Amino acid sequence: MVDDGDKDSDNDSEFGADRPLHEPVDQPNAYCTIQSVRLAQKYIELISQATLDNGNLSDETKWRLRNPPEEPVDISDPDTRLSLDLFLATVNASEAVYNASRDAIFLRWPACSVLSYYAVKELVADITGISPVYDDMCVNSCLAFTGPFEADLICSTCGEHRYDQVDPAKKIPRKQFQTIPLGLQLQALWRSTESAESMGYRTKKMEEVLAMMQALEGTNGEDIIYDDIFCGSEFIELHEQAGLTPDDVVIATTFDGSQLYKNKQSDTWTYAWLVDDFNPKIRFRKVHIFPGAVIPGPNKPKHIDSFLFRGVHHVSALQRENNGRGLRVWNVVKQQTTFSRPAVSVAMADAVGIPEVDGSVGHHGAHGCRLRCKTKGRHKGAGHYFAAHMKPIAYNVQDCNHEDVDIRNLVSSDVEVYQQDIATLVASRDKREYERNRKMTGLSKPTIFSGLVSNLMVPVPRCWVLDLMHLIHLNIPDLFIKLWRGTIKCEPTDKKSTWTWATLTGDTWISHGKLIAKATPHFPSSFHRPPRNPAEKINSGYKATEFYLYFYSLGPAHFRGILPKEIWRNFCRLVHGVRIILQRSISGAQLQDAHSTFIQFVEEYETLYYQRRVDRLHFCRPSLHTLLHTASEVTRVGPGAYTTQFAMERTIGNLGQEVRQASNPFSNLSQRALLRCQINALKSMCPELDAPNGDGLRNSHPLPNHYVLLRAKDRYPYHPTGIIANILENAGIQRVTRWARVLLPNGQIARSAWKETKKALEKVRISRNVKVVQNGQVDYAEVQFYFLRKIGDNIQGFAIISRYSRPDATLLEESFGTLWSCTYLGDNALEIIPLEDITAVVSMQPLPLLENEEGEHWFAVEKSGIEDIEPWKEPVVDEE
């Protein structure tokens, strides 16, 4: 990674400046004089010339890619099916567990022919055809011996030998890594009816999007709904320029590094491929995420391109196969072999990983914006640049002495400017000129993705997208918690006594942490991991979901009595914009709201905290600048929730948990990645192997519009008493059979007071509070129980609820719609509502009260992305 555009991070000696390159004789002057840039150019050239024949694939793999089996997979043999079921059921356990289960089956049915563990693994590999490509690599993980390094015998970075020196003639590699080719996995997606039909989502969605855009042409865009990546302008353009057909496939790639062990060096990098053709509801399932390679540690790779080369080369070969018609696939729905071109949509990585693949200087460079908006940072005289938009007072640093940046008119990701910048970089005649050009352009090298077929990808650099997971869930909370705790760096010329915002300190911090920990029972289980006590755990592996629930969900209420009012309101403005931008469905009007909100937030932030002081430039982290791009990115590539690193993080986490032998973790991790690809392909070809067992819906009662009543259930009809009896009698109901739970269309399970109140608070995750929408009005309520009633010839579902009051209007306005404070109305607000009025499970949290406030108050917390937020428009303010 290049951290700083003002420093030399691309040392030629690191890549062997004296080692000759095999340059083509017809282009003797085509390559840059700078070794790191020249290597990237060589990789791009090789990728642009990719075929299946020069991709190091086995003959068997190449034959199968060109001759896909033209029939469904037959696993009807009972013993074969039993062996596969047993293998999949124990795939995350040890081989001993499989063998013990197999032995138990033999005891009961001696005539059964369950395959051995080795045989069933071979069967899975044979059915899928998926096998890895092995490449040698440096024993210190510096580089892979691919492309320009393919013929090298010694690592040009560290000088270590490629082969074992005990007997050099045998050429035994000291270390290898494996790449898992994508082609056979794509073929598998078309070999079952269920999977092939699911792949038709993209075509149907694009028809809807194009019709919507045509109908709204000439309007101000407020009514456009962005609910998938295909709503973005980049995908519409890709669809049109490539002439994508229903047989083609759109893929994305995601890349990240991780540590396998907390207290041991184990720097591992992984990338994976995602298939965008599936509906977002199933797109990010484990079965649809294909690991591409695991780059072993324990050291961080010095030349990432050499490890990515094989996988990108393979995709390029698939694009060019059959004279550009693409990969042969057998489509079970069409019952014929067709051609499928893989089109690359976006590439995803966090701020640390993105420079490794896009060739940028990183977020501390002079032009460090990852979307290349040309906003130049400022520094304190040397070193890192910071994203301060306002010019400091009495600031005369020559190379960044520009006036205030107009953050209302940022422009990013221009292809022509990028190509001009690359041309400038490549034209560098010596090291000094290269450093100057790198600083001026914000680039350190061209990206190897430039070698892919240009009309089958979102063009570079527009294919790089933001990562909201790290930006919103981690980086921004980290900045503010350090500011409010007063732990951010304080320069000698500054005084913490002037930091009016540093109020989350001492006993306040301790008591605040305890209050946050007490919120756990009030978070439904569907909210996943509730935040632990931040005073004790915030530096001990605090998860992204914990940060979100702590900072953006509980924050508006819990920071209200701690922060000065102007600081709290600035924070609430941030929360309002974030809640919009994390939605899975965003209207054009909401985008305009979010964009305006973030502009005002950043301007206020710099005024309140940074105050145009040079010694506070480090308060202006790149994450604040990046936030300004989030709304416009939605119009380009759809909601950011669909292009985050969550899928990659889960994949790395799952694979890491499956590693059983700590003695050789990197090799085992690679084998788990290979097995994951094989199993995913198997389940695509044989979806019956991936069918749910149905235990969760046993004895349930399905209802229209995807609502399902779940047990517990009264064994005998219930005779209500008190107010509930009166309400039911008014509706003509004498007795009911109560149900305890309901599965909502969004996948959440809403529970009821009937059963939940019987448990102690510390042993429950309250899930009986729900969001109710009637005639467009949002309310929150507690469910007492659910029941069925016959209306005419139909059986319909209903719920007895008790509402919470309407929100405190003053708090709602002061918090920009982020703090919905209310009281529980109890028996005074009991009523019967149809189940379909319940749209989501919510958390109702106790509201921390200020000194002059009394009573018991609650505030609502909704799960991010489940539903659109409550519409909010603050009063119009003259921006002048």
- Residue 647 and residue 487 in contact, taking contact as beta carbons nearer than 8 Å: no
pLDDT-derived band at 265 (thresholds 50, 70, 90) equals low
Q: For residue 794, which phi and psi values (nearest 5 degrees)?
A: -115, 145
Q: pLDDT over 90 for what percent of the chain?
A: 82
HEC string of 798-819?
A: EEEEEEECCCCHHHHHHCCCCC
Mean pLDDT over residues 365-392, rounded?
92
pLDDT at 322 over 90: yes
CA distance linking residue 556 with residue 817, whole number of Å: 10
Higher pLDDT among residues 21 and 226, named by residue: 226
pLDDT at 11 over 60: no
For tokens 């998860």, the residue is 543
Instruction: Write the single-letter amino acid at 486.
Output: G
Q: What is the mean pLDDT of the chain?
A: 91
Residue 693's pLDDT is: 55
DSSP string, 712-743: EE-SS-B---HHHHHHHHHTT-S-B--EEEEE
- At 575-615, the pLDDT tens digits run 999 999 999 999 999 999 999 999 999 999 999 999 999 99
Q: SS3 of 858, please? A: strand
DSSP string, 308-319: HHHHHHHHHHHH
Here the tokens at position 302 are 């010095």
pLDDT at 228 over 80: yes
Count Cβ neighbours within 10 Å for each residue of 203-212 and write b for 16 or more, e otherwise.
bebbeebeee
DSSP string, 153-187: SB-TTT--BSB-SSSGGG--BS-EEEE--SHHHHH
Structure-derived torsion over alpha carbons of residues 702, 703, 709, 715, reported in degrees to the nearest 10: -80
- Residue 350 and residue 370 in contact, taking contact as beta carbons nearer than 8 Å: no
Q: SS3 of 250, please? A: strand
Residue 262's pLDDT is: 62
- Residue 19 and residue 38 in contact, taking contact as beta carbons nearer than 8 Å: no
Reported as type and span, the H/E element at residue 784 is: strand 777-791
**Residue 748, by phi and psi: left (phi above 0), alpha (psi -120 to 50) or beta?**
beta
pLDDT-derived band at 292 (thresholds 50, 70, 90) equals very high
pLDDT at 97 over 70: yes
CA distance linking residue 722 with residue 31, whole number of Å: 86
Instruction: Write the single-letter amino acid at 187.
Output: Q
Question: Which residues are CB-neighbours of 152 under 8 A, at least 6 positions away?
Answer: 19, 145, 162
- Residue 358 and residue 329 in contact, taking contact as beta carbons nearer than 8 Å: no
Higher pLDDT among residues 413 and 746, named by residue: 746
**Where do the domains of the chain lie?**
30-353+448-466+666-691, 695-862
DSSP code for 470: I
- Bridge partners (DSSP) listed for residue 783: 801
- At 24-48, the pLDDT tens digits run 333 334 799 999 999 999 999 999 9
Instruction: Write the single-letter amino acid at 474.
Output: L
pLDDT at 351 over 90: no
Provide the CATH number for the domain formed by 695-862 in this structure: 2.30.30
Mean pLDDT over residues 91-119, rounded?
94
DSSP string, 743-773: E-TTS-EE--HHHHTTS-GGG-----EEEEE
Residue 21's pLDDT is: 34
CA distance linking residue 615 with residue 393, whole number of Å: 11
Best CA proximity match to 710, nearest among 737, 736, 742: 742
Q: SS3 of 658, please? A: helix
For tokens 């089109």, the residue is 343
Choose from 209-218, 344-353, 641-650 the range with maximum mean pLDDT.
Answer: 209-218
- At 692-739, the pLDDT tens digits run 655 456 789 999 999 999 999 999 999 898 999 999 999 999 899 999
Polymer length of the chain: 880
pLDDT at 573 over 70: yes
Going by their DSSP bridges, the two strands 739-743 and 707-713 should be labelled as antiparallel
CA distance linking residue 367 with residue 669, whole number of Å: 37
pLDDT at 10 over 70: no
Question: Which residues are CB-neighbours of 108 under 8 A, at least 6 positions away?
Answer: none
Its sign, for the CA torsion 865, 871, 874, 877, is: positive
Higher pLDDT among residues 660 and 58, named by residue: 58
